[in-house]
Amino acid sequence: MNDRPENQFARLATPAAAGMLLWISRTLLSVLIGYPILLAIRASSMTSGPDADSVLFRPGSLLLLELLRTGAPWLAAAAQVALLLFGLSTILELVPLALALDLLWLPGRPLLERLTRALRIFPRFLALGAIALLVQAALLLAASLLGAALKPLLSSADERLRSILPLAPIALGVIACGWFGGALDTARAALVQQGELGARAALAHALACLRQRPFSVLFGLYPSVAGSALGVLSAAWLLTRFAPPSPSNLALALSFGAHQLATLFAISWRVRWLGTALELSAEND
């Protein structure tokens, strides 16, 4: 027998609410990151005319190159500030992520209680992120060293093999990073489900889940990555195919709309994977 309409609505509304939460937080933080660059462009006075910044996107990009030449000091300082804001935003984004996981796990919890729990587990989320960053950097470094070690061994091989085989360790390193990224999200899910769990215990729980169901972790994460790539590529194709040839308000609106649709599409796949991570974590309890 089919579920009742209200159950179906709740099943759809909860992931939608989690996706909107992640979308709003990322949009606001993206605006914060880009604001120093905007101030640096305004300081160059090249956008003070009646056409504003549309002059930078005319065919040939001569004015854009001139902006990069004359405004290099302002742009360099703004890029440093934007990089710092990006790092802080990456850390702050862990709070909406914890809220989204909590919303997917227990939809009926009050908002204030969710926020309190998210702030309480934030340090453990941050510790897991630092561990994951170090492990993934080590995996990529090991893959790069292995690829470099293979080159002398292939000196007498066919030229095509010499070009292709050194890429295999890099591909394996990327797959291993994806596996560990899936384990990281599973550990975050365990922290949300068991609020008193420590970061090390959550990571051990996630690694046990990875050992028991490695392909569920990898192939559960893969649609999220593939969906994000598809959204970005589709937006790029749409703008290349249908964007007006000259700068205008319509072109700006189309670019903004395509970008936001791609972002929402990627976030929807991210939310789907977070739900899978919660299920994997719960099954391993």
Q: Tell me the pLDDT tens digit for each residue of 193-203.
A: 887 888 888 88
The residue ranking higher by pLDDT, 221 or 132, is 132
Check residue 1 and give its pLDDT: 42
Comparison of pLDDT for 42 and 52, the residue scoring more = 42
d(CA 133, CA 37): 27
In this prediction, residue 168 carries a pLDDT of 81
Asked if pLDDT for residue 154 goes beyond 50, the answer is yes
Calculate mean pLDDT across residues 134-138: 91
Which pLDDT value is given to residue 22? 92
Q: How confident is the model over 139-147, as a mean pLDDT?
A: 86
| pTM flag (> 0.85) | no
Rounded-to-integer distance, Cα 167 and Cα 161, Å: 10
pLDDT grade for 248, boundaries at 50, 70 and 90: low
Band (215; pLDDT cuts 50, 70, 90): confident
pLDDT at 2: 47
Position 198 scores a pLDDT of 86
Looking at the chain, the whole-number percentage of residues with pLDDT higher than 90 is 20
pLDDT band of residue 10 (cuts 50, 70, 90) is low
Q: Check if the beta carbon of residue 183 is closer than 8 Å to that of residue 207.
A: yes
Cα gap 63→56, rounded to integer Å: 5
**At residue 46, does pLDDT exceed 80?**
no
- pLDDT tens digits, residue range 104-120? 888 877 888 888 988 99
Return mean pLDDT, the chain: 81
pLDDT at 134: 92
Say yes or no to pLDDT of 51 above 70: no
Calculated CA dihedral for residues 9, 11, 16, 19, nearest 10 degrees: 170
Cα–Cα distance measured from residue 183 to residue 217, given in angstroms and rounded to the nearest whole number: 7
- The pLDDT of residue 157 is above 80: no
